[in-house]
């Protein structure tokens, strides 16, 4: 008997310091798509996700809320579990690092490392910021101050356990060179190799209990808890049975793929790989680092208040449409931008118009012209056009499979859409409404309608990993009894398997068209973007990055009208402006000369911070500041949609 093919896929376990956002959703959805795809193709699949619950930040967050760390973690875990349910995530298990089954194995791993003589005790030295309870590397410290809070740091030395990571540097480099697919995408692989070009140091894997108690105790030294990364990474082997169930562990390890965000690639590529080497275990077959999402072109952050809530998106667009967008919009591995405009654009044109409408028109025609049952095709009425459709559908098995196996989700969807597009063209070219007018053309009409129905059945199979609910609906409404959350037989993918004569059941549109979001007036985005930038600067000082309305009120923002503008001699970026703010005319120096020529600014309304401390720039006094969008270079001045009086308060 042939051995059952297996597939083991993981997401990172998510740190419970944060509520789930689009980044968490992205990784997990991608993993779910792969898991469903593999199951459909007959692989026994183990799909693991979970939560990482120990460590300093969790402890701090819990203390802040007056909670026990475990209680805090319990609360956060619910948010993740509920989100995965809502996003139809089909994980096989959900691990929490606070569970005994995991803690136990982490201790087993530590003992194993100790027995193999791979641990030693030494002093960990570094600059420590006491209020932040955080270490900083020498090059991160700015003038002896903490780069995060600006308070002085002290050089301290504490005893810790170190893992002899440095010993594995060469082996790891060799492994990465020998297995080009180990780290993907290739650019990330190069980064890791670049990282390994430099000396690799040993890894400090303990924390003194006196400083941090929320962690897994060292089994052989009660004064220490385990460094969270070691704790967390071990989940990939603790759950499938390392140290507890050899047979099960052999079945699943090495993992086929660890899916991670690009921010945690190094920890996986280096810490995890060397730990596995130390334990004498195989490395995972693939480590794939995907990109990050920005929102409306901006970095997502709490202080900007633009964090995308996956729950809200699923509620607004539907889970399947949200899943589709995330995987279709951006080549997997690259960064992407999320915006409601882009989301709605793809939703309407690809899901509602192309796919949803194809489905709708097909079912309607079967109802109208065929009494509501899938007609039987007539062999003699089959034409070249039909054979082309069947051939196109047949090609998807390989082409979609190839792209999926390369983790090129957007290309897999493009492949699937070639069939959607062909089907819409097929409808136009064969015009069933014309065939229906002539009873003699009945065989041809039946054949055309069957081909459309069968195309939909096949589309549903390929769409299932991406949009499970929609795909199953398509299958059911077209009159098939197939269940897509099970492995299909190879012949199920073949043309002609849809049984005729079954009644179709047309339901609500798959994807009702949506109103495009009103385009955000440019000025509005600009103003808020620039404002937030100011706020961001301040907010890095304090722990909760939100400001209160009172903080905001400290800014005296006023409408100004530019009266004169001239270049500042000897400075290529500066303009000297005089700005009418109603009660007076202010002289302001602004760094906008690369973008605007002085003449075109005269008469323009701008937003001015009126209570900014005056500054002297290039010997010219500047009393205030005008708002503009841009990071390093100014891209646009903030102004107003309606004409406004100078001096008016902006709030």
Where do contacts with RNA occur on this chain (CB under 7 A)? 15, 17, 52, 55-57, 134-135, 137, 139, 165, 187, 190-191, 194-195, 197-201, 203-204, 227-229, 232, 262-264, 266-267, 270, 331, 334, 345, 349, 352-357, 359-361, 364-365, 368, 421, 424-425, 427-428, 431-434, 509-513, 631-633
Q: Which is nearer to RNA, 220 or 433 (CB)?
A: 433
For residue 162, the cross-strand partners are 120, 204
What's the token pair of residue 302? 């709490």
14: CB partners within 8 A, 6+ apart: 20, 24, 49, 50, 51, 52, 80
User: Given the complex with RNA, which of 562 and 629 has the nearer CB atom?
Assistant: 629
- Torsion sign, CA atoms 499, 505, 506, 508: negative
Rounded to whole angstroms, the Cα distance separating 351 from 341 reads 15
Minimum distance of RNA from residue 167's CB (angstroms)? 12
Residues 171 and 277: their CA atoms lie apart, in Å, by: 9
| Residue among 334 and 583 whose Cβ is closer to RNA | 334
- Residue 482 CB, shortest distance to RNA, in Å, is 21
Q: How far is the CB of 313 from RNA (least distance, A)?
A: 19
Pick 261 or 443: Cβ nearer RNA = 261
CB of 516 to RNA, least distance (A): 10
Quick one: 176 exposed, middle or buried, by C-beta within 10 A (0-12, 13-18, 19+)? Answer: buried
Taking the complex as a whole, the smallest distance from the CB of residue 329 to RNA amounts, in Å, to 8
The Cα–Cα gap between 134 and 55 comes to: 12
Task: Give me Rg for the CA atoms of the chain.
Answer: 30
Would you say 286 or 430 has its CB closer to RNA?
430
Q: In whole angstroms, how close is the CB of 312 to RNA at the nearest point?
A: 22
Tokens 């202010």 belong to residue = 586
Q: CB-wise, 257 or 449, nearer to RNA?
A: 449
Min dist CB 258 to RNA, Å, is 15
Q: How far apart are CA 112 and CA 242, in angstroms?
A: 12
For 233, residues 6+ apart whose C-beta sits below 8 A from its C-beta are 267, 268, 271, 272, 275
Question: Toward RNA, which CB reaches closer, 107 or 424?
Answer: 424
Residues 533, 535, 538, 541: what is their CA dihedral angle, to the nearest 10 degrees? -100
Nearest distance from C-beta of residue 39 to RNA, angstroms = 27
CA distance 581 to 609: 11
The pair of three-digit structure tokens given for residue 377, joined into one six-digit string = 């095709």
DSSP state of 350: I
Any residues with CB less than 8 A from the CB of 419 and at least 6 apart, and which? 392, 393, 396, 455, 458, 459, 462
CB of 148 to RNA, least distance (A): 10
Residue 368 C-beta: closest distance to RNA, Å: 6
Q: For residues 464 and 511, which CB has a smaller minimum distance to RNA in the complex?
A: 511
State the minimum distance, in angstroms, from the CB of residue 52 to RNA: 4
Number of Cβ within a 10 Å radius of residue 498: 21
Instruction: Give min distance, CB of 271 to RNA, in A.
Output: 7
Instruction: Give first-to-last CA distance, the chain, whole Å.
Output: 74
* Residue (56 or 301) nearer to RNA, CB: 56
Could you tell me the smallest distance in angstroms from the CB atom of residue 428 to RNA?
4
For RNA, give the closer residue by CB, 92 or 160.
Answer: 160
Kindly tell me which of 134 and 497 has the beta carbon lying closer to RNA: 134
Q: Cα 63 from chain centroid?
A: 29
In angstroms, give the least distance from the CB of 649 to RNA.
34
Question: Which is nearer to RNA, 125 or 245 (by Cβ)?
Answer: 125
DSSP string for 541-589: TSSS----HHHHHTS-EEEEEEEEEEEPTT-SS-EEEEEE-SS-EEEEE
- Alpha-carbon dihedral sign for residues 148, 151, 153, 159: negative
Contacts for 635 with CB less than 8 Å, ≥ 6 apart: 595, 628, 629
By C-beta, is 191 or 221 nearer to RNA? 191
Instruction: Name the token pair of 600.
Output: 């075109």
Q: Within 245-383, where are the H helices? A: 246-252, 265-266, 273-279, 310-317, 319-329, 340-346, 357-370
The rounded distance, in Å, linking the Cα atoms of 478 and 586 is 71
Residue number, 273 or 605, with CB nearest to RNA: 273
Asked if 1 contacts 39 with a C-beta cutoff of 8 angstroms, the reply is no
């Amino acid at each position: 008997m042939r051995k059952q093919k297996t597939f083991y896929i993981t997401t990172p376990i998510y740190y419970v310091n944060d509520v789930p956002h689009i980044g968490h959703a992205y990784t997990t959805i991608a993993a779910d798509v792969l898991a469903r795809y593999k199951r459909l193709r007959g692989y026994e699949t183990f799909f693991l996700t979970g939560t990482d619950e120990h460590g300093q930040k969790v402890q701090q967050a819990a203390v802040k809320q007056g909670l026990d760390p475990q209680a805090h973690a319990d609360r956060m875990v619910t948010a993740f579990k509920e989100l995965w349910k809502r996003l139809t995530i089909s994980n096989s298990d959900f691990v929490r690092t606070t569970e005994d089954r995991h803690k136990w194995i982490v201790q087993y791993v530590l003992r194993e490392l100790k027995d193999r003589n791979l641990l030693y005790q030494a002093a960990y030295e570094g600059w420590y910021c006491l209020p932040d309870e955080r270490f900083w590397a020498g090059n991160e410290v700015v003038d002896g101050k903490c780069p995060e809070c600006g308070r002085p740091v002290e050089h301290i030395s504490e005893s810790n356990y170190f893992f002899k990571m440095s010993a594995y540097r060469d082996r790891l480099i060799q492994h990465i060179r020998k297995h080009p697919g180990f780290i993907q995408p290739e650019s990330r692989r190069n980064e890791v190799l670049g990282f390994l070009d430099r000396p690799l140091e040993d890894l400090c894997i303990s924390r003194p209990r006196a400083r941090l108690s929320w962690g897994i105790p060292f089994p052989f030294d009660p004064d220490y808890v385990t460094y969270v990364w070691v704790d967390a990474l071990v989940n990939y082997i603790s759950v499938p049975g390392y140290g507890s169930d050899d047979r099960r562990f052999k079945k699943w390890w090495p993992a086929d793929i660890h899916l991670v965000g690009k921010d945690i690639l190094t920890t996986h590529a280096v810490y995890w790989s060397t730990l596995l080497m130390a334990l004498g275990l195989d490395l995972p077959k693939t480590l794939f680092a995907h990109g990050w999402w920005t929102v409306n072109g901006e970095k997502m952050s709490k202080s900007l208040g633009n964090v995308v809530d996956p729950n809200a998106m699923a509620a607004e667009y539907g889970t399947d449409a949200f899943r589709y967008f995330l995987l279709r919009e951006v080549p997997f591995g690259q960064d992407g931008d999320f915006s409601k405009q882009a989301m709605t654009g793809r939703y309407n044109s690809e899901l509602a118009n192309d796919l949803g409408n194809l489905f709708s028109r097909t079912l309607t025609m079967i109802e109208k012209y065929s009494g509501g049952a899938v007609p039987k095709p007539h062999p003699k009425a089959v034409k070249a056009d039909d054979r082309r459709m069947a051939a196109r559908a047949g090609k998807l098995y390989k082409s979609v499979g190839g792209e999926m196996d390369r983790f090129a989700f957007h290309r897999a969807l493009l492949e699937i859409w070639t069939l959607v597009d062909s089907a819409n063209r097929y409808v136009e070219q064969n015009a069933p409404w014309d065939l229906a007018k002539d009873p003699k053309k009945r065989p041809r009409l039946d054949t055309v309608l069957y081909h459309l129905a069968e195309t939909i059945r096949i589309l549903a199979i390929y769409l299932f990993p991406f949009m499970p609910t929609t795909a199953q609906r398509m299958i059911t409404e077209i009159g098939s009894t197939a269940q897509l959350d099970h492995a299909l037989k190879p012949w199920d993918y073949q043309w002609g398997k849809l049984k005729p004569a079954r009644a179709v059941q047309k339901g609500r549109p798959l994807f009702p068209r949506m109103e495009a979001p009103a385009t955000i007036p440019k000025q509005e985005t600009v103003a808020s973007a620039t404002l937030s930038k100011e706020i961001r600067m301040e907010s890095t000082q304090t722990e909760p990055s939100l400001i209160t309305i009172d903080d905001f009120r400290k800014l005296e923002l006023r409408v100004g009208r530019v009266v004169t503008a001239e270049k500042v001699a000897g400075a290529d970026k500066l303009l000297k402006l005089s700005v009418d703010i109603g009660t007076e005319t202010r002289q302001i120096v602004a760094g906008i000369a690369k973008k605007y020529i002085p003449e075109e600014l005269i008469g323009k309304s701008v937003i001015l911070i009126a209570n900014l401390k005056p500054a002297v720039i290039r010997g010219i006094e500047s009393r205030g500041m005008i708002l503009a969008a841009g990071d390093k270079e100014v891209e646009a001045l903030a102004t107003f949609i309606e004409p406004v009086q100078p001096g008016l308060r902006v709030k």
